[in-house]
Structure 1
Amino acid sequence: MNGLTAYYLKQEEPVKSVFLALRDIILAQNSGITHELKYGMPFFCYKGKMFCYLWTHKKHQQPYIGFVEGKLFDESFLLQEKRSRMKVFLIDPDADLPIDQIELLLEKALNYYLKP
C-alpha cells in the first residue's frame, strides 16, 4: 500500500468518503493533474506545480480543499485566515458535496496555470 492510499484509508467516516470523492473530482478535471503525498497530505499538481490539497481544518473539524494560489480568488466563502497565499474551501461532511462550486474553483485554479 502506498502512502496516498494509506492516508485515505486511515481517515474516519464521513471524512474518508468526502476525501475520496474530492480526489476523483479533482483528478477528473484535467489529464495533466497528478496526485502525490507532500508534507503528509494529498496534493494535486498540474505539470509539476502544486495547485490544491486536501486537509482537515483543526478549528472547524471539517475537510477542506486548499488552493495554493487562493489569494487570487474573490469568493467570499473561501477562508484565508492567517495564510498569505492560500485559501481554503470548507466542506460539510454531512451534506451533499457542492459539486458546482468545487468545479468552478478547480477551473479557476487550473486557469491560473494554463495561462501562457
Structure 2
Amino acid sequence: MNPIQEYFYRIKEPERSTLLFLRQKILESDKENITEPLSFGLPFFKYKKKMLCYLYYSKKHKKHYVSFYHGDRIEHPELIQEGRKKFKILLIEMEKDLPVELILSLIQEVKTYIK
C-alpha cells in the first residue's frame, strides 16, 4: 500500500468513502494537470506542480475539510480563514450532500491565481 492509500485507510467509514469520492472528483477534474503527491503527511493536490488544495481533519471543528491555497484571495461565505495566511478551509458536513460543484468551482478559482 502506498502512503496516500495508507492515509485514507486510517480514516473510519463513512468518512473514508466520502473523502475517496471527493479525491476522485478532484483528480478527474483535470487529469492532465492535477497530481497528488504526499506532502506534509497529507494527500496534497497540485496543479502544474504548484499547491492547489489538500484534505485534512480539524480537531477544533471535529470535521474533515478541504483547504485551498490562495484562499486568502477567495471570497465565499462558507470558507474559513481562522488566522491562516494563504489558506482558507471548507468544512465537510458528512451528514449532508457533498458540495462537489462548489469544491470544483473553488479549485477553478484557485487555478486562476497559479502562474
Q: What TM bracket, shorter-length normalisation?
A: over 0.9
Q: Tell me the residue number matched to 1:102.
A: 103
- Give 1:63's aligned residue: 64
Kindly provide the CA deviation profile for residues 19-43 of structure 1, in whole angstroms up to 9, marking residues without a partner as x: 1011111101112000011111110
Provide the residue aligned with 1:39 in structure 2.
40
Superposed, 1:1-116 pairs within 5 Å as 1-30=1-30, 31-113=32-114
How far does residue 70 in structure 1 lie from its aligned partner after superposition?
0.4
Where does the alignment leave 5 or more consecutive residues of structure 2 unmatched?
none
- TM-score normalised to structure 1 length: 0.92
Q: Unaligned regions of 5+ residues in structure 1, if any?
A: none
State the AA in 1 paired with 2:57: T
Q: Sequence identity, in percent?
A: 39
Q: CA deviation at 1:9?
A: 0.9
Normalising by structure 2, we get a TM-score of 0.93
Q: Give the C-alpha shift of residue 14 in structure 1.
A: 2.2
- Which AA in structure 2 matches 1:2? N
Q: Is the partner of 1:60 in helix, strand or coil?
A: coil
1:60 is displaced (CA, Å) by: 1.1
User: Does the residue aligned with 2:19 lie in a helix, a strand or coil?
Assistant: helix
The AA in structure 2 aligned to 1:28 is E
> What stretches of structure 1 move > 6 A for 4+ residues in a row?
none
Larger mean CA deviation between 46-55 and 10-19 belongs to 10-19
Look up the SS of the partner of 1:74 in the other structure.
coil
Structure 2: distance between partners of 1:62 and 1:17: 15
